[in-house]
Amino acid sequence: MNTVARSHADDVGSLPGMRAARREAFVRLGVETLGDLLRLAPRRYEDRRHPRPTADIEAGETALVVGRVRSSKSFRTRAGLSILEATIADASGTAIARWFYRGFMPTPLPEDRRVALFGVVKTVKNAQPEFKSPELERLAEEGVDDPGCGRFVPVHPRTAGLSAAVVRRAVWDALPAALDVPDPLPAPLRAAHDLPALGETLRALHFPDDLEEAERARRRLAFDELLVHELLLAERRQARRATAAPPLPFPARVRARIEARLPFELTPGQVKAVDEIVADLEQPVPMNRLLQGDVGSGKTAVAVYALLGAVARGLQVAFMAPTEVLARQHTQTLERMLTGSRVRLEQLAGGRRGKGRTAALARIAAGEADVVVGTHAVLSADVQFADLGLVIVDEQHKFGVRQRRELVAKGGTKAAWRRPHCLVMTATPIPRTLALTVWGDMEVSVIEGRIPGRAPVETCVVTAQEARDVMPRVRAELAAGRQAYVIYPLVEESDKIALKDAQAGHERWTRALPEHRVGLLHGRLKRDEKERVMEAFRTGEVAVLVATVVVEVGVDVPNASLLIVEHAERFGLSQLHQLRGRIGRGTTGGLCILVDRSREETPARLEILAADTDGFAIAEEDLKLRGVGDLFGTRQHGRPAFRAAVLPRDLPVLMEARTAADALLSEDPALEAHPALARALKARRSLLDDV
C-alpha cells in the first residue's frame, strides 16, 4: 500500500498520474480533495480473492485470471473497429482477452507484464478460455499488495474518462490521508452507537477484509450524513420556534362561515387536515406544514379554509403556483368559492406587464388585495405586502428552499418583525415512513381518501403490438366530445437511446386524426407558448395533447378521459401515478393505457400500478425500486442527496441520528465542543440554502 504522507485536504490532482483531464473527471464526480475521494462509497464489491487456473475455467463463469502477457497486438477491422488482443499465461495454460474500441487504436500490452483479468468467460476453445472486454488490472510484481487483486475489490461510481481501475488506484493512493481526516463524532457518541473510528471506517469502506466489515463502514458514514442532516433540521425547527407570527384564532362562528362558503362538505380526511392546520395557525409561531394529498383528495379546499381564516383576521395571503395556467386555475377556483364575499383577489403572473402590473403592485402594497395568486413573479423584489399572514405554495417540489424562504420573508410593512405562516402542498404521495425524513423541518398532514363523486380510472398495460388496437378507443372518446393525453419520454429523437419521441409522435397523431386539433407540449417551448397550448387544451380547442412529463403537475381538465403513456417501462411508478391523475377529474371516469415497449415480459411494477390506485402504497413500492433520491427528485429543490445513506433501508440509522442530534444540540447549541461537526453542518446549510 502507498505510504506517502498525504493530507485529506490535498487536491485530488496531487495523486500520482493525475493529469488535468483526469482531475476534471473526478471533479464531475464531486471529488476535489482526497477527503472527498475517501468518502466516495463503492457501489458494490467483486470477490477477487482467489485467481482461477486457466485450465479449470468453463464457459459462462465469472473468473479471475492472474498471469503474464505472452503476446499482444492491436488491429483494425474493415468496419473500422479497433481490437486489442492479448494472450495471458499462468502456470496451467493460457487465456485470450479481447477489447473493442472505436475512434482510436489501443497500444498493445507489454510482453511479460503481470496482469489480472476479471470478467465473464465467453467461450473455451482447446482448453483456452476467451474473455470479451474483461476488467484489466496492471499488477505489481508478486509479493506486493495490489488494490485490484487478491481481495474484495471495490467498484466505485465513475464518469467519462475514468475507468473502475483508475478510480480504485486513486483511492488506494489516497488511503494514507485517511489517518489525517478529523473524526467529527466524539468517542462517547461512537461507543453509544457501536460505530468505528473514521480512519478505520475509510479503509474498510474501500478495501474490507469481508463484506460485513464493508457494511459496518458504510453504516458509519450513513450515520454521519444523517446526523448532519438531522442537526440542520433541528436547527431550523428551533429557529422557527423562536420567531413570531400572527396568531389566527378560528372561533366556531368563523369556522361555520368558512364551511358555509365551501361548495361541498369536507371529507373526514379533509377535516383532520384542517384541524391540524388550524391548531398551528392559532399559535404565535410560524406554521411550517406540508399538506400531502393523493390526486383527487381535495387539497385546494383545505388550503382555502386556511386562507379564509387569515383574511378574516385582516391579513393578506400569497398563493403561489409553478405555472401561469395553474395560477389562473387557482384564481378561477377562488373566484367561484368567494362569489358574493368581500375578499379582494389579485392575480400576479410573469406575463402581466405595464400599467396593469403597476396598479396591482400598488394595491398589494397598500393592503387593498387580500389574496394574491401568482407564479414565481410573486417573489420579485418589487412585490411588497402590507401585512402578509399566510403563504400557500402549491406543488412545492417545483420550488427550491431559497424561493420559499424569499416568499416567507415578505412579512409586510406593517409588521416586519413577524413571519407569515407557511402551508406547502404536494400531490406526490410520500411514503409515510419517509415523510419526516425528506421533509423533517415541516409538520406533515395527510388527506386520506378521495372526494366523493370522482369517477374511477381504469389502468391497463399493453405491449407494443397490442398498442396498435388503441386508436379505435381514442376515436370513440373524441367522438363523444372528450379529450386525450399522449405522453412520451423524449422531446425529440435521440441517437443514444431508442425511444419514441413527442415531436415525431405529434406528427403521427396529427396525420391519424385530421379531423381533430392535436397539440404539442414539452419543456423546450417558451413559457408563453406552453401556456397557450395548455390553455387551448383546457378550453377544449385542442382534442389530443401530445406531451412529455411537463403535464405531470396539476392542471385540471375535467373533460380529459384518456391517457396513453408511451414507453411506460421508462417511468417510475409515482411519476406514472401522477400522470394518471390528469384524467378522471370529472364525472365520466377515465382510461390509462401504459404502453410497454421493453420487448420483455411486462414488468411486475407496471402491473402494481394497474392493480392499485392508492398513491401512498404505490410510492412505497417505487421507493423500494428506485430509492429516495430518484423518487422525490431530492437532488434538486433543496432536499438531501446522500452518498452513503440508503433510504428506507437506513431508517433505523436515521432514528439513531435524530436522537443523537437532539442530544447534542440540547447540550451544546452552537456545537462549540464539536468543531468538525459544526463545519460539516455549516457546509450542509450552505449547500441547501443555495438551492
Q: Are residues 386 and 271 in the same domain?
A: yes
- Evaluate the CA torsion angle 185, 190, 195, 200 in order and state its sign: positive
**447 has which bridge partners?**
293
Asked whether residue 524 is assigned to any structural domain, the reply reads yes
**74 has which bridge partners?**
84
Q: Are residues 528 and 576 in the same domain?
A: yes
Q: Are residues 395 and 256 in the same domain?
A: yes
- DSSP class of residue 267 equals P
Q: SS3 for 466?
A: helix
pLDDT over threshold 50, residue 90 = yes
Ramachandran region of residue 671, left (φ > 0), alpha (ψ -120 to 50) or beta?
A: left
pLDDT over threshold 70, residue 343 = yes
- Evaluate the CA torsion angle 594, 600, 601, 603 in order and state its sign: negative
Q: How far apart are CA 426 and CA 436, in angstroms?
A: 14
CA-closest candidate to residue 228, choices 197, 193, 198, 184: 184
pLDDT, average across residues 661-681: 91
- Residues whose CB falls within 8 Å of the CB of residue 593, separated by 6 or more in sequence, listed in order: 460, 462, 467, 470, 473, 562, 563, 564, 565
- Residues whose CB falls within 8 Å of the CB of residue 169, separated by 6 or more in sequence, listed in order: 17, 147, 148
pLDDT, average across residues 524-545: 88
pLDDT over threshold 80, residue 616 = no
The full length of the chain comes to 691
What is the dihedral angle through the alpha carbons of 112, 118, 121, 125, rounded to the nearest 10 degrees? 10
CATH of the domain at 92: 2.40.50.140
pLDDT over threshold 90, residue 657 = yes
Q: Are residues 411 and 500 in the same domain?
A: no
Q: How far apart are CA 362 and CA 345, in angstroms?
A: 14
- The least confident of 165-174, 248-257, 580-589 is 580-589
pLDDT over threshold 60, residue 691 = no
- For residue 77, give the amino acid letter: T
CATH of the domain at 551: 3.40.50.300
The answer to whether residues 328 and 347 touch, using CB atoms and an 8 Å cutoff, is yes
Confidence of residue 601 (pLDDT cuts 50, 70, 90): low
Regarding predicted confidence, which is higher, 142 or 215? 215
For 397-446, write each residue's pLDDT tens digit.
555 566 667 777 777 667 666 789 999 998 777 776 566 666 677 888 98
Q: Output the pLDDT for position 485.
A: 95
Q: Are residues 360 and 420 in the same domain?
A: yes
**547 has which bridge partners?**
487, 521
Say if strands 560-565 and 483-487 run parallel, antiparallel, or are unpaired: parallel
**241-265 b/e (C-beta count within 10 Å ≥ 16 → b):** eeeebbebebeeebbeebeebbeee
For 17-37, write each residue's pLDDT tens digit.
899 999 999 999 989 999 999
- Residues whose CB falls within 8 Å of the CB of residue 45, separated by 6 or more in sequence, listed in order: 152, 153, 154, 155, 208, 211, 214
Q: Are residues 379 and 271 in the same domain?
A: yes
For 58-81, write each residue's pLDDT tens digit.
999 999 999 999 999 999 998 889
Q: Are residues 326 and 413 in the same domain?
A: yes
Q: Output the pLDDT for position 638.
A: 39
pLDDT over threshold 60, residue 690 = no
Confidence of residue 328 (pLDDT cuts 50, 70, 90): confident
- Residues whose CB falls within 8 Å of the CB of residue 663, separated by 6 or more in sequence, listed in order: none
Say if strands 316-320 and 151-155 run parallel, antiparallel, or are unpaired: unpaired
Asked whether residue 231 is assigned to any structural domain, the reply reads no
Q: Which of 385, 406, 426 marks a domain boundary?
A: 426
Q: Output the pLDDT for position 428.
A: 74
**C-alpha cell of 525?**
417551448
Q: Are residues 524 and 385 in the same domain?
A: no
- Residues whose CB falls within 8 Å of the CB of residue 469, separated by 6 or more in sequence, listed in order: 462
The answer to whether residues 324 and 350 touch, using CB atoms and an 8 Å cutoff, is yes
Regarding predicted confidence, which is higher, 176 or 296? 176
For 121-132, write each residue's pLDDT tens digit.
999 998 999 999
Q: What angle do CA 461, 462, 463 make, to 5 degrees?
A: 135
Q: Are residues 422 and 488 in the same domain?
A: no
Asked whether residue 92 is assigned to any structural domain, the reply reads yes
The answer to whether residues 627 and 635 touch, using CB atoms and an 8 Å cutoff, is no
Number of domains in the chain: 3
Please report which residue ranges of 424-483 form alpha helices under DSSP H. 432-438, 471-479
The gap from C-alpha 336 to its chain's centroid, in whole angstroms, comes to 36
Q: How far apart are CA 390 and CA 309, in angstroms?
A: 10
Q: Are residues 362 and 483 in the same domain?
A: no
**367-376 b/e (C-beta count within 10 Å ≥ 16 → b):** bebbbbbbbb
Q: How far apart are CA 406 and CA 415, in angstroms?
A: 16
Asked whether residue 236 is assigned to any structural domain, the reply reads no
Asked whether residue 172 is assigned to any structural domain, the reply reads no
The answer to whether residues 321 and 373 touch, using CB atoms and an 8 Å cutoff, is yes
Q: Output the pLDDT for position 214.
A: 96
From first CA to last CA, the distance across the chain in angstroms is 40
Residue-averaged pLDDT of the chain: 86
What values do phi and psi take at 131, rounded to 5? -100, 140
- Residues whose CB falls within 8 Å of the CB of residue 635, separated by 6 or more in sequence, listed in order: 629, 641
Q: Are residues 386 and 498 in the same domain?
A: no
Confidence of residue 636 (pLDDT cuts 50, 70, 90): very low
The answer to whether residues 320 and 374 touch, using CB atoms and an 8 Å cutoff, is yes
pLDDT, average across residues 616-621: 77
Its domain, for residue 380, covers 252-282+296-426
Q: Output the pLDDT for position 684.
A: 79
The answer to whether residues 408 and 245 touch, using CB atoms and an 8 Å cutoff, is no
The gap from C-alpha 47 to its chain's centroid, in whole angstroms, comes to 32
Q: How far apart are CA 203 and CA 218, in angstroms?
A: 11
For 271-324, write each residue's pLDDT tens digit.
999 999 999 999 999 999 999 887 778 888 999 999 999 999 999 999 998 878
Q: Output the pLDDT for position 1.
A: 53
Q: Output the pLDDT for position 435.
A: 65
Confidence of residue 585 (pLDDT cuts 50, 70, 90): confident
- For residue 360, give the amino acid letter: A
Regarding predicted confidence, which is higher, 604 or 386? 386
> What are the distances in angstroms from CA 5 to CA 79, 177, 180?
49, 7, 9
Q: Are residues 334 and 463 in the same domain?
A: no
What is the dihedral angle through the alpha carbons of 398, 401, 403, 408, rounded to the nearest 10 degrees? 120
> What are the distances in angstroms from CA 659 to CA 173, 429, 641?
37, 26, 21
- The least confident of 384-398, 427-441, 561-575 is 427-441
Q: Output the pLDDT for position 640.
A: 46
pLDDT over threshold 70, residue 513 = yes
What is the dihedral angle through the alpha carbons of 656, 660, 666, 667, rounded to the nearest 10 degrees? 150
Q: How far apart are CA 551 and CA 334, in angstroms?
A: 22
Q: Which of 583, 612, 641 marks a domain boundary?
A: 612
CA-closest candidate to residue 488, choices 507, 508, 505: 505
- Evaluate the CA torsion angle 679, 681, 684, 688 in order and state its sign: negative
Asked whether residue 421 is assigned to any structural domain, the reply reads yes
Q: How far apart are CA 384 and CA 413, in angstroms?
A: 8
Q: Which of 149, 184, 203 marks a domain boundary?
A: 149
CA-closest candidate to residue 115, choices 157, 167, 69, 72: 69
CA-closest candidate to residue 407, choices 396, 579, 27, 152: 396
Asked whether residue 4 is assigned to any structural domain, the reply reads no
Asked whether residue 403 is assigned to any structural domain, the reply reads yes
Grid cell 419526516 is found at 436
Percentage of residues of the chain with pLDDT beyond 90: 49
